[in-house]
Amino acid sequence: MKQLTPFIDAHVHGFLKPSDSKRFKDNVSALIDHGLEKILITALPHHDFTYELKISLAPQHIHPALTGDNSDETALLTAWTHEYGFQETVIPFVDVRFVTEHLRDILRASRASGFAGIKGAFIPEPDRVLAIRGIPQALGISGQRYLHIQHELFSYAQELNLPILYHINLSQYFEWMCTVLEAFPRLRISIPHLGYSLRRITDILDRFEHTYTDPSYLIELLKKNNPRYRSFIQNYHTRILLGSDAIIVSSPLEEILSYAHYFSNLSIAEEMRHRILRENARTFLAVPA
């Protein structure tokens, strides 16, 4: 596999367990060898979930990465990043989508231990696209309580100046997302998968200055050279991040690199290419050049 144009992957999941140490080291090292400059990896804090609950909240392609054991993924990510000397490469994000208590304390502690951002998700009811349960129903909290937690999350993120990678289906929850972004205008947020709606993500990017997106999980569609997506990439190249949505310890290397390959070889201006491959991520993450 040839060396790629240097890139930043701004959307990778951990789903770590203690036995994954070597795979973590080998995969990050291999990615660096192929041009990786930095990688955003999300990690869950300690959670006391049954295996059945985990499965009900995870899309089918995530199931092989799950076990019945509950670990503090944030501790594993921190330990392995230091043990293998990846401090300049790994950008850790704490995944708080299932946190229902002590959110502020968890975010402050994570920030103090080196976490540079937040992963969240808005799944207030069963998701027909992902075929998973709604988070409040699964965790036994009311819908109103769930909305309050989301509001707290955005408030703390803006207060602590932490960027958010936030999963939301804009075809269903566009108005809610706009209300949040209006309330927190300084928030840096990336909405992956083009928000499941090219029209709605375009509206978001037009209306709100500090918003970004990535086309993760859409690689096969991108490869078909659809003119609507090509036009979107050219018109919004300053707001698109490279994100693979891969699992760092279980996804094949080729899958993780597929988006870097796509944008490295796409027929666009070099300035556009470099913005998508890494410069936009630097702005979103507030990483010095």
Q: In sequence order, which residues have a C-beta less than 8 Å from that of residue 36 and are 6 or more positions away?
A: 6, 7, 8, 9, 28, 89, 260
Query: In this structure, are residues 64 and 250 in contact, taking their beta carbons and an 8 Å threshold?
Result: yes
Amino acid at 80: W
Q: pLDDT digits over 47-59, tens only?
A: 888 889 988 999 9
- Name the H helices within the chain: 21-33, 51-56, 73-83, 103-112, 135-139, 143-160, 170-183, 198-207, 219-223, 227-235, 253-265, 270-274, 280-285
pLDDT for res 2: 52
- What single DSSP character describes residue 279? I
Domain that holds residue 140: 7-285
Is position 2 within any domain?
A: no
Is position 139 within any domain?
A: yes
Is position 226 within any domain?
A: yes
* Residue of 14, 185, 196, 221 whose CA lies nearest to 97: 14
The stretches in the chain having pLDDT less than 70 are: 1-3
pLDDT for res 1: 47
Neighbour-count burial of 125, counting CB atoms closer than 10 A to its CB (0-12 exposed, 13-18 middle, 19+ buried): middle
CA 199 to chain centre: 21
Is position 142 within any domain?
A: yes
pLDDT for res 163: 98
CA–CA distance, 206 with 67 (Å, rounded to integer) = 41
Q: In sequence order, which residues have a C-beta less than 8 Å from that of residue 222 and are 6 or more positions away?
A: 215, 229, 262
Count of structural domains within the chain: 1
Q: Are strands 189-192 and 211-214 parallel, antiparallel or unpaired?
A: parallel
Is position 248 within any domain?
A: yes
| Domain CATH number, residue 187 | 3.20.20.140
Neighbour-count burial of 88, counting CB atoms closer than 10 A to its CB (0-12 exposed, 13-18 middle, 19+ buried): exposed
Is position 183 within any domain?
A: yes
pLDDT for res 237: 98
Tokens representing 164?
A: 């958010």
* Residue of 43, 34, 29 whose CA lies nearest to 89: 29
Tokens representing 276?
A: 């998508």
Tokens representing 5?
A: 């144009």
Is position 110 within any domain?
A: yes
pTM over 0.85: yes
Is position 181 within any domain?
A: yes
CB atoms within 10 A of CB 250: 16
Neighbour-count burial of 200, counting CB atoms closer than 10 A to its CB (0-12 exposed, 13-18 middle, 19+ buried): buried
Strand order in the sheet with 164-167: 211-214, 189-192, 164-167, 117-121, 90-95, 36-43, 7-13, 246-247
